[in-house]
Each structure stands twice: as structure tokens, then as C-alpha cells.
Structure 1
Amino acid sequence: MTWHHVPISLNPADVVSRGCTPRELLEHSLWANGPPFLHQSSSKWPSLPNAVKDLPERHSAALVGTVCTDISINCKFPNSFHKLQRVFAYIYRFISNCRAKSSPSRNRVTIEELYLGTVLLLRSIQQVHLAKEYGCLSKDRPCPQKSKMISLRPIIGSDGLLRVGGRLQNANLDFDTQHPILLPKDHPVTKAIIVYFHIKYLHAGSQALLATLRQKYWPIGRRKFVATVINKCIRCFRMKPITWEHVMGSLSANRVQPNPAFHTTEVDYCGPFYHKAEARNKAPHKCYIAVFLCFSTKDTHLEVVQDLTTDSFIAALRRFTSLRGTPRTIWS
């Protein structure tokens, strides 16, 4: 094959690639007929540009800016915390093998690699979604006053994770329980951790699950966020019993028809209450309140009753009828 050079001004492909209207394209001679030098002999074709054979060595300076990225977003298993732990365990193994420059390990994932891979996963999430708090605390500066985590007094542990400060340093608990790991709200990994513990503890409720979860992790958003994730559990939704709602009966005619006040009355007692005796150094006495309620107007009349005897009630009823009139019907 013999290759020849076509200059830009004679290249018909550039007519379309550089943009033109359909009318210009139809009237363009270069597009319709091709380069004019093709009608001439090959000796008059454009010559190749002079090729530079000896190129001088040039050292280019490149400025690379690194930004912390959440590598868990593009992971294949964002909804399974168990699989994410194993994926990042292999990532940690790869990083450690590259740093140690040793032969790659072909053994199964160890417990230490699972733990350190989980630390790598959670630290990358915190550095992106809790960047302000993480940046301030990593530089030994106090947490911003406008931060939502200011009440938790966050700290950075020896493993580089953002944790709850708290006041349990002297408690007989392990380090994870004293200082749970902070998790950002509405993150796929946070939801995956909640679902993982929800299934592990046999579909526990929101309050029990949050108490168990806070022994190691502290999701921002608390019980409302945990309940939102649990409500999407299909098995819990299917097994949730539906309470039967009984249809209440129709109201009686005395309640819905217009009548004078206390035409039909109901009476009940409330109490006991204690009132101080008139004599000094005497124990307080019990008393009760007789409540007279009108059926139709819901008017209420209160009478003080000394005790639960019949005579006391009859006296209260006489005081009531002397003020309000005699009812036609009294319900007790």
C-alpha cells in the first residue's frame, strides 16, 4: 500500500466534520467532486510534509490533584455488607502486597484482612461524606460548631475512623462499644449494614435493632432512619399482622337529636382526691368528684362528694337537680 498526504484545505471529509448546512453541502464542489489533484498525474499530487527524525527529549511537568472519592458507590455489591467486606478485604490484600513488594498471597481471606478491609471501606466513606468533620479532627482542630455531630463529640481513633466521643472511657466495655463508628445518613453502605444486622438478629424491630447496632456503629439519623430501612423488608411486611378494626354501632337517639341541656344525663365518679382537714396535724381526707354529662350538648356539671356512700351520692344528685333541673333519664 502506498500512502499519500491530503492537506486540510483539500480534504472533503472536513466539510461535514467542521459543520455546514444542507444547502452549502449540495453546492460545495469539494464535497461533490473530491480533491482536484486526483484528476492530475501523481507527480503533481501534494507531497508529504517533512518528517522530523531526531526529536529532542522533553521533560514535561504534570500537576496531579487528588480528590477523595467514595469507591464504594461503583462497587458491584452496594446492598450486601457481607460481600462488601470480602471485596475490600481483597483490595486491602492487594494494597499491602504492592507496598511490601512480596509475592501475592493465594490463601483464603483471613479475619484480620476482613477487619482491615472494613476499616478501609468505612474510612473512604467518612472522608467523602463527613469531610468537614474528618478534616478538622485530623488536623487537631475542634469540630465545626454548625456540625450536626457536635453533640456526639466525635474523635478519630487509631485506625483512622471517625467515632463517637462520649463519656464511657472508664466503662468495662470494648473500644467499639465505648466509641461506635459514625456512619453517614442515606448512604447505601449504611443501609446495607442496617439490613445485615436486621437479618442477623432475626428481623428485629427498630428499637432493638438500633440498640444492637450502636454497640459498634452509630448511624446518623437514629431510629427514624433505621425504621425507614426496616419498613422496606419484604418478609417483615408479609408477616406483619393486620389488626381487625371493628365497626362501631350507631349512636342512640338521645345523642344525635336536639334536647334541652341535661335532658338525658350520664353520671360517673373520678378520683380520689385529697383535701386538707380543718384541724391542725390531721391526715388529709379523701373526696371524689361526681361528673354529670349531658348526652346531646356535652355540658358538664361537677359535684364534690365526700365518700362513696349512697347518702353522699343522693346529696350530690339533689344539688345537681336543684341547679339544672330534673333529667328525664340518668345513665350510670
Structure 2
Amino acid sequence: MWSTIKESFEKFQQLLEEDAENNEEEELGIPSLELCSALLLSQLVNSVASALRIKPKNIFLWSDSMIKLTWISASQISGSSVANRVREIQRLTYTARWNHIKFEDNSVELISRGVQPSKLKEATLWWSGSTWLRFSSENWPLTTRVVLEIIPEERTMKTKSFVASNIQFQNYSLWYRFTGTTAYIFRFSYNIKTRSKGKEKRSGNLTTEEIQQATIYWYQEGVLRIGGRLRHSSRSYDKKHPILFPKQHHITKLIAKYLHISNLHIDPQALLTITRQRYWPLSGKNLCKKIVHSCIVCFKAKPNFQSPLMSQLSSARITPSRSFNNTGIDFCGPVYIRQSTNKRTCKVKTYIVVFVCMAVKAVHLNLVSDLSTNAFTAALKRFIARRGHQKQGEPWSNVSTRSYQVTFHPSKCPSYRWLLGGMCEIVFKEP
């Protein structure tokens, strides 16, 4: 081990200790013996650095063994003896820099290969080291470090390829959970493959690319698509040729349910339109109806109110009698008519009086000029002249007059609905 001291703009280099390779230990291979010498060097550097009062600025460690340098810089090494030594070297020399040195510049080779004491006394390489060590690190000779393709004792990561299609998709009720599980499996596989390569692993929330990759995985190969005549259209390939899905498959239901929820619970027709932009499920209309009808949110948002019970029919409607013996009266209009056949004649606003028989539902219409009492009295006289006088009962009406005794029932009151039951409204549509 050499120490370089800079004093008065001059560098002095002297031998502190020399660690020669000892091959008389346990029977190991040459690379393992080289690693043992590196461990001894690391322990020596650590002990000398802790004993010095002056803290070294930089520590450079040299070796002429490519395998040893590759082991020290590796992250995964198999074998208990090699892995333990490499781990200890990395712990002791985490602040030092390991470099490769040429064979002729390595002073340890004098001892390991044997040298006479008389020649060792005169060996400048042993006592002073290489001449280029006196210069700054920028002027040191560059040595090309060969990257070994096959590293001895390297731990190979044996990973079994997974099959995402083995996921029990029947256990998922939502499409985004199903694709999220697939995306996390892909992420786990990516992190396992890239851990030995030193790449940054993926973490945190799923990205859009990961979810899209997981979605495409389930129908990337071997799927049927709709043909059609949109080959020259500017639309995307998925829109020109939607993917054909079976109607009873669970994934088809998951996709339809996902599109229904993501589009704010649309109705079945809109859901079918959006689904067919990329997918084409068989019996898609029935599928969309089933998805919407089974949605709890849609059920709560559109409750079916209970209809009130229908009242009993009045006796006038269920008792046999002569036509118009019990009559319901109402107005409809206005209608515009011409007073002559001349086209230039102005149109006049008129109304129609509707007489409905409550027993047989016969209808009698009479035209009046306005909604006055005189106009209604004239229409009633014409009705009686045409249909005859009533023998029993009384006319049921939702209009009133002073000349005749009638029963007035407003159109919105329950009694009117009970007596007439909308018999006049079915003849005409109220404006």
C-alpha cells in the first residue's frame, strides 16, 4: 500500500505496507484467491486509514484481475464464500475507487512470482511504485476495463413467466379493478426483470400506459372484428372494425357496466351507441337494457311511484239506459273556420261543445261561436231538439249555467274523475 503526500508543491511516495497474495490458504480457485487478496487489502486500508491522524482525501485500489473487479462491482453473486467476501469488501471500501492496473505496473507480482532478495533491494517498482503515481490522477495512464459477458459465480435470477389469462375474472364485478389487477401483475414482472439490471423500479399509482397495456392484453390477439365498408374512413382502426364480443361472457358485462358508470349512468340506447364505438357485443341492445335495469344508482334516481287506487264507477255509467239520458258536457277548441267559401274571408274563432253519453259513450258535437252562456244555452237547446228530453237523471257537466239545472264538476277535482272518468278527454285532446 502506497501513500502519496503533497508537500511544498512536491509529491513524495513511500511504501507503508505491501499485501502479497498468499496461495497457501484453503484450496480455492485462482479467482477466489484473487478475491481473498482483495479482502485483505480492504482490511489493511481500513485499519491504516483509521490509524492515520490525517484523513486521506482519496483512496485508490488497484488490481490486475478483471474477474475480481467484476465481482466487487456486481450486485448479485451466488455462492456463500464469494458472496460473503464481496459483501465485506463493498462495506469496507465503499468510499474507495477500484481500478485496473497492467501486469507490468503491479508491484505485488514481484513477490507472488518470486524474486531474489538482492534484486528486491534494487527494485524501484517495489519500493517506490510506478512512476506515474507521482502525478495527478488526470495524468495516469488509461486502462481499458474489459466487461465480461460471463461472470463466474454470478447469481442468475430464475423467474417463471406468469400467465395473466389464469386470473379468475369471474371474481371481479368491476372492469377497472380487473384491469388494475392485471396492471399490477405486469408491474411486478417488470420490477423482477429489471432489478438485476440496475434500473429504477416502478412504484406508486398506476399510470395510464400501464392500464392501457393491461386492457389491450386481453384482446390483442385472436379476436374477431366487424368487417364493414369503412376501410377508407379517417376514423381509428378500433372504430372502423369494433371487436366482437359474445353476449354471455363475463368480460362483456364488465365492459358494458364500466361504460355505463363512466358515462354518468346513461340510458340503454346511449350506452349501446357508446359501446359500439369500440366493441360490438352480440345482442347488445338486450345487454345494455339488463345493465341499466340492474344498476342500483339508476334505480334510486328513477323510482317508480305507486299509482293511487282507482275509485268505483258511478251508477250512471254502469246502469243501462237510453242514449244521452245521462250526459257529460265539455268544451274543446278553439277552432278557426271561414264564414263563406271565399278564400279571402277572415277566419273566425269558434268552439265545440261535446256531449258524451255516460252509458254507451255516444258523442254529439255542436259548434258555438264563443264560451258565453248564451252560446251554450243555444247549443243545449239544439242538443235537446235533436236527442229529446231527459226522462231521468240529470246532465253531468263541468260547465255552469243559470238557465238549466246542472251539476258543475271542475276538471281537476276527484269527483269529476269519479263521475266522468275522463270520458270527455278521450274524445279530444285538451289544448
TM-score range, shorter chain: 0.5 to 0.7
Report the 3-state secondary structure (helix = DSSP H, G, I; strand = E; otherwise coil) of the residue aligned with 1:260.
coil
Q: Which of 226, 239, 243 lines up with 2:305 in the alignment?
A: 243
Do the aligned residues in 1 keep the contact of 2:269 with 2:288 (CA within 8 Å)?
A: no
Q: Which of 150, 158, 163 lines up with 2:239 in the alignment?
A: 163
Q: Go from structure 1 to structure 2 and tell me whether the alpha carbon gap of 1:232 and 1:196 turns closer, same or farther (over 3 Å shift).
A: same
Correspondence for 1:117:
214
| 1:81 Cα deviation after fit | 0.9
TM-score by length of 1: 0.53
Do the aligned residues in 2 keep the contact of 1:154 with 1:163 (CA within 8 Å)?
A: no
Correspondence for 2:334:
272
Q: After superposition, where does 1:115-154 map in structure 2 within 5 Å?
A: 115-124=212-221, 127-128=222-223, 130-131=224-225, 133=226, 137=227, 143=228, 153=230
Do the aligned residues in 2 keep the contact of 1:183 with 1:218 (CA within 8 Å)?
A: yes
Matched, 1:227 2:321: no
Do the aligned residues in 2 keep the contact of 1:183 with 1:219 (CA within 8 Å)?
A: yes
Matched, 1:80 2:167: no
Matches of 2:319 and 2:239, distance apart in 1: 66
Matches of 1:306 and 1:72, distance apart in 2: 82
Aligned residues: 225
Q: After superposition, where does 1:1-332 map in structure 2 within 5 Å?
A: 75=169, 77-89=171-183, 106-108=201-203, 109-124=206-221, 127-128=222-223, 130-131=224-225, 133=226, 137=227, 143=228, 153=230, 162-164=238-240, 184=245, 185-200=247-262, 204-206=265-267, 210=271, 213=274, 217=278, 220=281, 224-234=286-296, 237=299, 241-278=303-340, 279-327=342-390, 328-332=393-397
Letter in 1 for 2:239: R
| 1:105 Cα deviation after fit | 7.9
| 1:243 Cα deviation after fit | 1.8
Letter in 1 for 2:374: D
Matches of 1:157 and 1:322, distance apart in 2: 75
Matches of 1:106 and 1:331, distance apart in 2: 86
| 1:293 Cα deviation after fit | 0.5
Q: Which runs of 5+ in 2 are unaligned?
A: 1-163, 398-431
Q: Please, what is the CA RMSD of the aligned residues?
A: 4.5
TM-score by length of 2: 0.42
| 1:118 Cα deviation after fit | 1.4
Matches of 2:322 and 2:231, distance apart in 1: 67
| 1:230 Cα deviation after fit | 2.7
| 1:238 Cα deviation after fit | 6.4
Deviation per residue, 1:151-187 (Å, 9 max, x gap): xx5889998x53158xxxxxxxxxxxxxxx6563444
Report the 3-state secondary structure (helix = DSSP H, G, I; strand = E; otherwise coil) of the residue aligned with 1:258.
coil
Higher mean Cα deviation, 227-236 or 287-296? 227-236
Matches of 1:276 and 1:217, distance apart in 2: 59
| 1:261 Cα deviation after fit | 0.8
Q: Go from structure 1 to structure 2 and tell me whether the alpha carbon gap of 1:196 and 1:111 turns closer, same or farther (over 3 Å shift).
A: same
Q: Go from structure 1 to structure 2 and tell me whether the alpha carbon gap of 1:223 and 1:154 turns closer, same or farther (over 3 Å shift).
A: farther
Q: Go from structure 1 to structure 2 and tell me whether the alpha carbon gap of 1:235 and 1:275 turns closer, same or farther (over 3 Å shift).
A: closer
| 1:265 Cα deviation after fit | 0.3
Do the aligned residues in 2 keep the contact of 1:207 with 1:223 (CA within 8 Å)?
A: yes
Larger-Rg structure: 2
Correspondence for 1:58:
none
| 1:117 Cα deviation after fit | 2.4
| 1:275 Cα deviation after fit | 1.7
Letter in 1 for 2:212: Y
Query: Percent of counterpart pairs with the same letter?
Result: 30
